[in-house]
Amino acid sequence: MCAKETDQELEKQAELKAKIAQDDWRLHFHLMPETGWMNDPNGLCQFNGVYHFYHQYVPLNPEGKAAPHWGHKTSTNLVDFKEEAIFLSPEHSYDRNGVYSGSAIVKDDRIHFFYTGNVKKEGDHDYTFSGREQHTVHVISDGYSIEKQEVVIPHEAYPAGFTDHIRDPKVFEKEGHYYLILGARTRESEGKILIYQSEDLSQWRYRGIFFGDDYSLGYMWECPDFFQLDGQDILLFSPQGVDPQAYAFNNLYQSGYLLGEVDWENLKFKPTSEFIELDWGFDFYAPQTFLDQKGRRLLWGWMGLGDTSPEYSNPTVSRGWQHAATLPRELRFNGQRLLQQPLPEQQKLRGRHLSWNVELKDTFAAPELAGEVYELQVELTQQREKLQIRLRQDTTLSYDGQTFSLSHGPSGYGRKKRSIQLPELRQIHVFMDTSSIEVFLNDGEYTFTSRLYPQKEQNQIVFSGAGNLAIQLWPFST
């Protein structure tokens, strides 16, 4: 907890820790809040060999109904993480109602963080069109302690024509210049991404709308992220207010990306693709990427989503915590789309290797083909029209030759079914934790991420359909 926490608050958190430690749904190999609420990944970076994962954090309220801090976890191998002290807290006039999301960049042997300081004024306000201030704040640090903290773009300096929702700074460097992009909502309720330029990370000059002049998708764009991968310019963001389609945009809010080209003279992103969702499951939002010291573009997402009630819920709230982070994923570009792939570091979690080569004619199960926490990989050695895999209490992965679906029964707590059109299914790669599932299809062409809350002792894995399967299972040590 931060230094200003009272003895009563410290006692309450200690009680929550003891309660959560006994929770059967506590995750084993995903990052989750020590207590309380977690949402967006923030300030992701690797510095002096240490991976730093910061995140939105409300330690004493699992519903997130309080001003968020930045929680902090570190690792040297992306598997074993240490819980660090809270890094940032809402204790200034410019962030008193929340240390909101932001990013990090390394310069001159220091980490430079940029976040949104949230302020809500007293009075009769809707806090979208009036009553809110969102400042861009700069922090210089070694990753653990704060050396300098200053507002570099005050709310009143943002351009005209926008609501009070301008936030989530992402900073990057290009040919000796620094750029900062912000997600925004116009007064006409259109999403835009603003861009600023700096030579020293302290003085910032507004350069206009980076993307959104001639593009419409919802009313607000959160968590923008720009990077280049294999020579391709890629823009990530999380739009709100997009109408659902047959298979696309089925969640309340989405996260995805555009391929494109940047006009660096005028600082305009010009898309060359349609908006492509990053994940097709129930629980994925606010992803952030960074480049590690191996040169890999890594992504973490929030394994959750806000405002889902009453459609679906998370029963861990009554147990003192809510939400988690996805596994870190490496991004690759295959010339047409981003691939998301689990890291080889995750193989450290593997227990003994079990395998089966199956000519499936009806159903297949085996006593050892079961578990609560495991990695499962299925190679389909020939095209098939029907395949179903039943997991845990009532979760099903199914394919009919045209459509792949993830379905939950009661253990989904309102989560029912998500699907994509898929002309060919070659591989299914599953990471199952006590209360989450991540599915990677065809070496990461598509992913499905979801929370699930099954009863214990219902762990059999059952295959049904027809065809030839190469099945590998690695139970994880818990």
**Interatomic CA distance for residues 56 and 98, integer angstroms:** 9
Kindly write down the DSSP assignment for every residue of 65-118, as one continuous string.
-S--EEEEEEESSSSSEEEPPP-B-S-STTTTT-EEEEEEEEETTEEEEEEEEE
Whether 424 contacts 446, CB under 8 Å:
no
Which of 321, 280, 443, 246 lies closest to 55 in space, CA to CA? 321
Catalytic residue, candidates 40, 168, 233, 279: 40
Measured at the alpha carbon of residue 38, what is the angle toward residues 71 and 455, in degrees to the nearest 5? 135
The tokens for 31 are 């990052």
Residue with tokens 């309220």: 61
Kindly write down the DSSP assignment for every residue of 3-15, as one continuous string.
TT--HHHHHHHHH
Residue 40 designated active-site: yes
**Interatomic CA distance for residues 119 and 135, integer angstroms:** 8
User: Which residue(s) pair with 399 in the sheet?
Assistant: 387, 404
Whether 206 contacts 162, CB under 8 Å:
no
The tokens for 54 are 């910061």
Backbone angles phi, psi at 187, to 5 degrees: -70, -15
Tell me the CB-side half-sphere exposure of residue 87, using CA atoms within 13 A.
32
Strands 162-174 and 146-153 come out as unpaired
Looking at residue 314, its amino acid is N
**Interatomic CA distance for residues 228 and 173, integer angstroms:** 11
Tell me the CB-side half-sphere exposure of residue 355, using CA atoms within 13 A.
5
Kindly write down the DSSP assignment for every residue of 267-328, as one continuous string.
TEEEE-S--EES--SSS-EEEEEEE-TTS-EEEEEEE--SS-TTT---GGGGGTEE-EEPPP
Which of 366, 389, 357 lies closest to 465 in space, CA to CA? 389
Enumerate the active-site residues. 40
